[in-house]
Amino acid sequence: MKYLIYKIESQEDLETAFSIRNQVFVIEQGVDAQLERDDHDLRSAHFLAKDGDKIGGTARFRLTEKGLKLERFAILEAFRGKGLGKALCQFILEYIQIQKIQDSNLEFKIPRLYLNAQIQVVPFYEKLQFIPIGQPFQEAGIWHRKMVKEG
């Protein structure tokens, strides 16, 4: 399938992303709504993924002291298992590579890409060459595993 994925530039699209995250994390997974939204939203690059005219997923990334952290991947139930999450992740990885080429100094600031994957999706990220490190841990009451990808 061919999906349209793009970096969010409008407040309306950002609100759509927040709505998807609320549906997936708060309603479906029971994450406390106060934990789901955070100050990092202001410093993150956000993305939406569409199938035709229907928006099915979102994610964000941000620069941290440990590297570039990919996070808040949320795919609506109707779009799961159809390649939307993979397309979204691949788009973001390509977007990051383009940014590194455009700003050669960025390459030295970002030693690695990393994320905290929910345990059930570790195999998904392994297929995208992320490597699990360390022990499983709980975040917002859900078991996760830190995963890295040399960038």
Superfamily, domain 4-111: Gcn5-related N-acetyltransferase (GNAT) (3.40.630.30)
Query: In the 3-class helix/strand/coil scheme, how is the chain assigned residue by residue?
Result: CCCEEEECCCHHHHHHHHHHHHHHHHHHCCCCHHHHCCHHHHHCEEEEEEECCEEEEEEEEEEECCEEEEEEEEECHHHCCCCHHHHHHHHHHHHHHHHHHHCHHHHHHCCEEEEEEEHHHHHHHHCCCCEEEEEEEEECCEEEEEEEEEC
Domain borders along the chain are 4-111
List the chain pLDDT tens, one digit each, 151 residues. 689 999 999 999 999 999 999 999 999 999 999 999 999 999 999 999 999 999 999 999 998 888 899 999 999 999 999 999 999 999 999 998 877 656 655 554 555 799 999 999 999 999 999 999 999 999 999 999 999 997 5
